[in-house]
Amino acid sequence: MRSFINHIEWLLLVVFLVTGVAFAAVLQYYLNDWSLIVTDAVVSAVVTAAGVWGGILIVKAYPTRVGILIYSLLAGIAVGVVVWYADKTFLKWWLGTDKDYITWLHASLLPRLVLAILINCWLITLAATGQRAFALEEQFKNLSDVATLHREAELFKLRQQLQPHFLYNSLNSISALILIQPDKAQEMIGKLSDFLRNSVKREARDYIPVDEELEYIEAYLAIEAVRFGDRLEVLYNKHFTDDSSIPPFLLQPILENAIKFGLYGRTGHVRIEMDIALKKAYLIIIITNPFDAQNRPPSGTGFGLEGIQRRLYLLYGRTDLLETKQEEDFFTAILKIPQNNV
Amino acid sequence: MYKVILIDDEPLARQLVHSLLQPYKEVTIVAECSDGFEGFKAIQEHQPDLIFLDVQMPRVNGFEMLELLDNPPSVIFTTAFDEYALKAFEAHAVDYLLKPLTRERFDKAVQKWLQQAAAKQQPQVQNLLQEKVYDGYQHRIVVKDNGMIRIIPAQDIHYIEASDDYIKIFTKNGSFLKKSTLSQVEQSLDPKQFVRVHRSYLIPVGQLQRIEPYEKDSHIALLHCGAKVTVSKNGMAKLKTLLGW
């Protein structure tokens, strides 16, 4: 309904013409002087149109969407009274010399007042509902965007989990362990099962406890640690309360990145640090991983973190919640999750 | 006695191949490497008869490593790579093994190779590199530079010139030769960034500074690095579509 407000000049023209013609049509029953009829009709129509315009501006400036209907109704009545008064005063001043007209004008004041209030209330509430519908539509669109993205992320995750590389490579490691270290093989199967069970059972919730997300991620990292032997070391630093929450599937892509560039992309020992702390109203997660500057992807791919950035924007309407830094051979991602329960 | 090298970034994956190779008394493992760079060095040093090669590895991946070898040994790929890529090299390698490896499949591959080796057939691994085996585009080119491996990120390339059987890659650190064709490189790089403006030239669009008319039907492109390259009529058309002129 934005178009309704945007084409206000057309609306006002229509209001002007309709009121003008209506007034003229009614007036010609009571007055027989055409100049009087036209003057009265034009003045009334102009004042009414101006009133409607002012009313719509008032509604537009109204800060919240709550109770806008009552507000616009009141505005309509107020504007109607003002319009009626302005109309009366102007006509008196303009056509004051005609005694008969003035007498008639006084007699017609009540119907004029009623008419002015009705027209204004009707048009202004119409504008208000239009605006409300527009706002609701926006909100609805935003919500469905969030839902779609969430679904996409989930599907992506599913594909990722059921997808070859990680699973097949893990199975290959298990196969090797069976031959050389059967005990460890069993342990690895346990970890892999934990990971798979976790990813299958997770429902689509908006927020999950951080602990739950971490359990999942730890299982994933533990498997990678077995696959790559002593090469991978993960340091956790946790300072948060039990009720800290996080949107699901948000942390994982960042860690996958850290693994991809830190572990798959390099040789030698790799240390990934994960620092999770509750600070004021935010859960702040800092993930640091080494990476090979030579192996950097071309600028613009943004390490595949755009998806997270976009989800954060849709969830919180902010673009400053994910920050990344590249310092020499280290890559740092800083994620801030607003906690509404604090 | 056949010499074998294992190249895989996962120690457990190498151990598995190691164990599976145990029954074969006619082969000996001369080296184990955890990336393409080490693999390249070990192959030059030991001249093995066969390598077991993973594709996705740090620094230099399996394909890149093969590209650099003048005389590649027989290859058995061991990878969790998707089937799209597998199809491309199926015909060229001795065999490919999907992870997780199984004894049965592994033995089959080794038997196949032993037969080929006994018949002195050299499978043409080089052919494999003529095909596009990657999903998506490459963001770098790997070249040999005085026996060393050099990785050139795509954004460092000024332009690439064809010269006989080689291509000459011009970068801010000088130029490098690679045994390849311009069409091959053109295929592997992102077509939104690299344009074949002439039979002999491939340029990154970002390098373009000015284009001036030259002879009939051809233009000269002035690049940010100061070089001038000829742009053919065809190349001009490509540039126009890409840049939306």
pLDDT in tens, B113-131: 999 888 876 555 555 555 5
* Closest by Cα among A206, A231, A232, A209 to A220: A232
Residue to test with chain B: of A175, A181, A189, A295, most B Cβ within 10 A: A175
Within 13 Å of residue A9, how many CA atoms lie on the same side as its CB?
0
Q: What is d(CA A284, CA A210) in angstroms, rounded to the nearest whole number? A: 11
Interface of A with B in 109-148 (CB under 8 A): none
Low-confidence ranges of chain B (pLDDT < 50): 91
Q: How many residues does chain A have?
A: 342
The β-bridge partners of B150 are B143
pLDDT in tens, A126-153: 888 887 788 788 888 888 787 777 767 7
Q: Is A297 on the interface with B (CB under 8 A)?
A: yes
Residues of A in contact with B35 (CB under 8 A): 267
On the 0-12 / 13-18 / 19+ scale of CB atoms within 10 A, A171 is middle
Torsion angle defined by CA atoms of residues B113, B114, B119 and B120, in that order, rounded to the nearest 10 degrees: 70
Within 13 Å of residue B184, how many CA atoms lie on the same side as its CB?
17
With cut-offs at 50, 70 and 90, classify the pLDDT of residue A241.
confident
Q: What is d(CA A168, CA A172) in angstroms, rounded to the nearest whole number? A: 6
User: SS3 for A29?
Assistant: helix
Interface of A with B in 193-222 (CB under 8 A): none
Give the pLDDT score at B109: 92
Residues of B in contact with A297 (CB under 8 A): 139
Closest partner residue to A228 (CB to CB) among B10, B102, B155 is B10
Residues of B in contact with A165 (CB under 8 A): 56, 80
Give the pLDDT score at A41: 84
Q: What is d(CA A267, CA B35) in angstroms, rounded to the nearest whole number? A: 8
What are the two backbone dihedrals, phi and then psi, of residue B72, each rounded to the nearest 5 degrees? -65, 145
With cut-offs at 50, 70 and 90, classify the pLDDT of residue A105.
confident
Residue A1 has pLDDT above 50, yes or no: no
Is B58's CB within 8 Å of A179's CB? no
Q: Which residue has the tokens 């790579």?
A: B81
* Closest by Cα among A140, A119, A120, A129 to A68: A129
Interface of B with A in 138-197 (CB under 8 A): 139, 151, 153-155
Q: Which residue has the tokens 């996409």?
A: A152
Could you tell me if A250 and A335 are in contact, meaning their C-beta atoms sit under 8 angstroms apart? Answer: yes
Interface of B with A in 38-77 (CB under 8 A): 38, 56-59
Is A228's CB within 8 Å of B11's CB? yes
What ipTM, to 2 d.p.? 0.74
Instruction: Verify cis geometry, omega within 30 degrees of 0, for the bond prior to A111.
Output: no
pLDDT in tens, A260-302: 788 777 778 889 999 999 988 899 999 999 887 665 554 434 4
The β-bridge partners of A323 are A334
Residues of A in contact with B58 (CB under 8 A): 264-267, 292, 295
The DSSP code sequence of A217-269 is HHHHHHHHHHHTGGGEEEEEEEE--TT-EE-TTSHHHHHHHHHIIIIIT--S-
The β-bridge partners of B173 are none
The β-bridge partners of A17 are none
Q: Is A165 on the interface with B (CB under 8 A)?
A: yes
Is B16's CB within 8 Å of A174's CB? no
Nearest CA in chain B to A166: B80
Q: Measure CA of the first residue to CA of the last residue in chain A; give whole Å.
A: 38
Nearest CA in chain B to A184: B12
Closest partner residue to A264 (CB to CB) among B38, B56, B81 is B56
Per DSSP, B175 falls in state E
Residues of B in contact with A169 (CB under 8 A): 10, 13, 80, 99
Q: How far is A165 from chain B (nearest CA, A)?
A: 5
User: What's the whole-number mean pLDDT along residues A69-87?
Assistant: 86
Q: What is the CA B60 to chain-centroid distance, rounded?
A: 9
Fill in the amino acid letter for B13: A
Closest partner residue to A267 (CB to CB) among B35, B56, B101 is B35
Q: What percent of chain A has pLDDT over 70?
A: 87
Q: Is A159 on the interface with B (CB under 8 A)?
A: no
Q: How far is B201 from chain A (nearest CA, A)?
A: 22
Closest partner residue to B58 (CB to CB) among A266, A297, A298 is A266
